[in-house]
Amino acid sequence: MEVKIFNLERDHHDIKGKLVQCFEEVLSEGEYVLGKEVKALEEEFAAYIGVKYAVGVNSGTDAIKIGGLSTGLKSGDKIVTTPNTYISTAMGLSVYGMRPVFCDIELETYNMDPGHLADVLKREKDVKLCIPVHLYGHPCRMDEILDTCEKYRVKVMEDACQAHGAMYKEKKVGSLGDVSAFSFYPTKNLGCYGDGGIIVTDSDKIYAKAVMLRTYGQEAKHVHVTEGFNSRLDELQAALLRVKFKTLNYWNERRRHIAWLYRRELEETPLVLPFEAPWAYHVYHLYVVRTKDRDELRKYLNEKHVSTLIHYPTPIHLQKVYKHLGYKKGSFPKAEEVTNEIISLPMYPSLKQDEVLYVCRCIREFFGK
Ligand SMILES: Cc1ncc(COP(=O)(O)O)c(C=O)c1O
């Protein structure tokens, strides 16, 4: 048996007819940029998250860039995030002159450690924005993070690129900070057919600025009041996303069922399995387990035709691009420890029960169980 790490073609099989029909409709409408589909998606997405506004942009990275800039960041301001995330959480803004500082993680959820955040904010001056990342689909401890940020007058932008539909207590992630960024990269829980992203906020001011920055800093057609970008979400992507959006909750439930199966089958192995806090609704964008035998296990699974990945192999503070920030090995012990032990197992809505059982059997064999 072969088990892929992702299988988008199979995930989309049941809705393929609707997607093709939608493609044809957009084609014959003749409006391809910032039209009624983008507007409808923005309204539907904002309502789903539970906020006033959403602004479609052309990637999750641009959602971080434009979302962050819309909070009023200036070149030289510091931003704080965790080092075990995808590079663009930091790079989306560092490329515009903001300086990343990092905060260590908690081992249970792999997310920002609020205690360490308090230490960092006490020490570092000029931090203007905190970017907690709901990594792998598990929400961060938002109450503690928001309290600490309020104390130090730091704004909060949630990186919810891996967490469409995840809940912190009774609220959807994305509705808790000043502004939030989501990605529609194809493998995400809600993904399009190329690049796409969306910014969400309750703030009239952030919304107005984000709308301007998305389209060349224009206040009205041909009236440019600030320097901005071309970062528009296509009509076609928005229309296709609206079709897929209807299945998001069901697909998240499928992911949770697969996670439950993995847990049942792997509980007796030495693997550290994902944690779901009692206050959390985890949407398992990735199913990440931990073992000191990670590299050998990966090799073994590869021989058994089970694909795996590592999210992420190098923590950001040790990337060459951020050498000038002065961090070293040992700067963030927890983030570094997990980097050497994590492995992402196959996880997607169309993953079949017998495939999960096969992966688990291979893992048990590897551990001699
Ligand atoms: C946590 C996180 N932040 C940001 C991004 C950037 O999103 P995109 O690839 O759509 O630019 C991603 C996706 O790759 C991500 O996983």
pLDDT by 10-residue block (mean), the chain, 369 residues: 96 95 94 95 98 98 98 96 98 97 98 98 96 98 98 98 98 98 98 97 98 96 95 96 98 98 98 98 98 98 98 98 97 97 98 98 94
Closest to 156 (Cα-Cα) out of 83, 87, 232, 68 = 68
Tokens 């398992």: give the residue. Answer: 284
DSSP label at 230? B
Residue 339's CB: how many other CB atoms inside 10 A?
19
Strand ordering across the sheet containing 78-81: 53-57, 197-201, 179-183, 155-159, 127-131, 78-81, 99-102
136, 162, 192, 344: which to mutate for ligand 1, most atoms within 8 A of CB? Answer: 162
CA angle 33, 36, 40 (to 5 degrees): 120
Closest to 176 (Cα-Cα) out of 141, 221, 226, 217 = 141
Cα–Cα distance, 185 to 156 (Å, whole number): 23
**Counting atoms of ligand 1 from 1, which one is nearest the CA of 183?**
10
**Counting atoms of ligand 1 from 1, which one is nearest the CA of 85?**
1
176 CA distance to ligand 1 centroid (A)? 19
81, 86, 312, 344: which to mutate for ligand 1, most atoms within 8 A of CB? Answer: 86
Tokens 């600490």: give the residue. Answer: 148
The H-or-E segment that residue 236 falls in is: helix 235-245
β-pairing verdict for 78-81 and 99-102 = parallel
Cα–Cα distance, 300 to 345 (Å, whole number): 13
The pocket around ligand 1, CB under 6 angstroms, is made up of 59-61, 85-86, 88-89, 133, 159, 161-162, 183, 185, 195, 197
343 CA distance to ligand 1 centroid (A)? 18
pLDDT score of 117: 98
159 CA distance to ligand 1 centroid (A)? 8
Structure tokens at 260: 């439950």
Cα–Cα distance, 206 to 67 (Å, whole number): 8
Helix 353-366 vs helix 248-266: crossing angle, to nearest 10: 30
62 CA distance to ligand 1 centroid (A)? 9
- What number of residues does the chain have? 369
Counting beta carbons within 10 angstroms of the beta carbon of residue 326, is it exposed (0 to 12), middle (13 to 18) or buried (19 or more)? exposed
79, 88, 138: which to mutate for ligand 1, most atoms within 8 A of CB? Answer: 88
Residue 239's CB: how many other CB atoms inside 10 A?
22
Cis peptide before 312 (omega within 30 of 0): yes
Could you give the count of Cα atoms lying within 13 Å of 319 in the half-sphere of its Cβ?
18
- The residue contributing the CA closest to ligand 1 atom 10 is 60
Local structure of 181: helix, strand or coil:
strand
Cα 230 vs. chain centroid, distance in angstroms? 22
66, 161, 184: which to mutate for ligand 1, most atoms within 8 A of CB? Answer: 161
**Counting atoms of ligand 1 from 1, which one is nearest the CA of 135?**
1
Cα–Cα distance, 120 to 49 (Å, whole number): 30
Cα–Cα distance, 113 to 118 (Å, whole number): 9
**Counting atoms of ligand 1 from 1, which one is nearest the CA of 184?**
10
Going from the N-terminus, what domains does the chain have, and what CATH number goes with each? 8-103+112-245 (3.40.640.10), 248-366 (3.90.1150.10)
The pTM is what? Answer: 0.98
